[in-house]
Each structure stands twice: as structure tokens, then as C-alpha cells.
Structure 1
């Protein structure tokens, strides 16, 4: 039997399936064990050899972070779909922000690196985020100088930081309102180039 190669990632399909099985096993273990997982325990849960897990994820911290990023994105997927269908793009982004904060707050001591969360978030939702953004710009509800990467980086970095600070709900709502006001201001100073 020959493995086919995924043209989007350049990886063999069996390697992609193994990654998925490993991450799903880690997510189950994070839920059961309160966030602490070991690579051998994940290999056993996934039904995959230890060497495969070690080759794909060099450390338990890397695996936990990638699994937590996947879990967060799995949890916010319904909100992303609803935001895309919402006639008010700003309200859609706000709902995504709240869902992201709630998902990060629910993680049991599992740390997620923002770079892993951003990578997973963009790989799954970049097209949808761009669609929401373009609708908002056409309606005059979102800044015309925002780009898709700006929205994704802004959302993940800022909102995950708010979630990690464990602020009271009223404070989070206040800061979200302030942040999203910056997204909606079409009369604002032009953003500097990167």
C-alpha cells in the first residue's frame, strides 16, 4: 500500500492522519488528566508507536500547546460559522473574541503558545475571517485599512492575553468594547505599514 501525498501540506496522508490521531489523543488526555500529558501516554492513547510521537512532537510541552490550540479552534468553530452568517460583522468578531476567551479560560492548566494558536486559527479560518472583514469594510463597519492578518493577529494575541489574565467578566466586556471600537472606527488615523 502506498501513501498519498497531501498537495496542500506536502506531507503524506498517513502522516497527516497520525498527527490528527496524536492531537486527538492528547486532547482527550488533557481533559482527563487536568492538562498534563506525557508523550508515551499519548502514544498509547493514540495507538501509535512512541517513536512516531517523539518524531512529530519533540516534547510534551509542544504537543500540549498544539493540542490546546486545536481544542480551542474546535470549540470556537460554531461561533466562527455564525459570525460569517451574521449581518453585523463587528458583532461577529466580538462573538469570536468572547468564544476565544471562554475557550482559553476553560483549559485545565494546559498552556498554549500564542504562535501555535495563531497558526491553527489562520490555517482553519483565514478565508472566513477575510470574508467577514470584507463584508464589514463594504458596509463601512470596519476600518478600511485592516487586512486579514491584522484581524487574526489582533484577535488571537489580544483576546488570548485577556483570557490569560483571568479578569472578571465585566472587565473583559469593557476591554473588548474598547478594542473593538478601534476596529470599527473608519475615521481613525491610517495604520502604519508593516
Structure 2
């Protein structure tokens, strides 16, 4: 892909992720193209249907979140990196909620996509957890899977209550509960 085409695609996916995370999240493709600074034809060449855009956004956001673990660890103490990643996870989950009408069908049609996404996220949490355990910042008896499940629960509760501050408080509570 040409550099300018890749930049356009990246911008579209970034704008789509933000649009899908907004309340209501029924933003039109035309509005996404306009906000991304591209013509609607450019958007449709890359993503012929809304489902194509949702799938690409889901894939891109999952990869972005998973890759962020190493970057956070490179510039922060492990526990700080873990806590920052938890906040990113909540934002990621809110983006997925904006895709709620379309995403289940996509996941059903693309066998393995859900499992692949879970594995990417589990690997990221495990990396953060293991670094935090080695640093003596968290207990060693809590598996990465439990941390990921707790994050999912926090996201569901806070989104149901429509309270971002609740998510922060619950993330702080989870982090405190991980201390040795």
C-alpha cells in the first residue's frame, strides 16, 4: 500500500474507533470520512460496507491495545504500566460497545477472530502481570486470565451505569487488590 493510502486508512480507523465509542455510535460512514479528511469514495474503496469498517476497526484496536503493553513497560514501572493498560482496556471495550450491533455477526462469520483477539489481550496482560510480579508489585497467585475477566466486568458495570469515574475507582480497587 502506498504511504498516503496507508495514512488515509490509519486515519479512517482512528476516527472510526472514536466515533464507535461515542454514545449512540450510529455515526454514518460519510461522517467518518469527513472527520478523517478523506472523500467517501476513499472510505468505500477500503471498506465497502459498514461491517468491513467495523471489522477493520476491531482488529486495529485489538492489535493497538495488545502492543501497548510493551511500550508502557518500556517507560513505566510495571505496576504503573499495568494500571495504565487497564485504562486503555476500558476505552477499548467502550469502542467495542459502539460496534455492538454489527460485531457479533462479524465474530460469528470469522471463526477464530474472537479467539485470536482474546489471545492477543491475554498475552499483553500476562506480560504486564509477570513484570509486576517480578518487581514485587503484585501478588503472584492471580492469573492473567482473572485480571482480564475482572477488567471485562469493570467495563460492563461502568458502561451500564454510564459512569467513567466509576471505572477509574473500580480499576483502582482491582489494582489495590493485586498488591501483595
- Residue by residue, what CA displacement relative to the aligned partner does 1:132-161 show, whole Å, maximum 9, x if unpaired? 212211222111112232233333x22431
In terms of fraction of residues, the more helix-rich structure is 2
1:146-185 mapped onto 2 (5 Å cutoff) = 146-155=142-151, 157-165=152-160, 167-184=162-179
Q: Any conservation in 1 of the 2:126–2:144 contact (CA below 8 Å)? A: yes
What TM-score, normalized by structure 2, do the two folds share? 0.54
Give the 3 Å change call, closer, same or farther, for CA 64–104 of structure 1 in structure 2.
farther
What TM-score, normalized by structure 1, do the two folds share? 0.51
Structure with the greater relative contact order (CA < 8 A, sep ≥ 6): 1 or 2? 2
- Residue by residue, what CA displacement relative to the aligned partner does 1:11-56 show, whole Å, maximum 9, x if unpaired? xxxxxxxxxxxxx9xx69886993689xxxxxx85689xxxxxxxx
Task: Find the structure with the greater CA-based Rg.
Answer: 1
What is aligned with 1:145?
Answer: 141
Structure 1: segments with no counterpart, 5+ residues: 1-23, 38-43, 49-59, 187-194
Structure 2: segments with no counterpart, 5+ residues: 1-9, 30-43, 108-112
Q: Any conservation in 2 of the 1:104–1:160 contact (CA below 8 Å)? A: yes
Q: Any conservation in 2 of the 1:76–1:100 contact (CA below 8 Å)? A: yes
- Following the alignment from structure 2 to structure 1, what is the Cα–Cα distance between the partners of residues 62 and 117? 6
Number of positions where the alignment pairs a residue of Structure 1 with one of Structure 2: 146
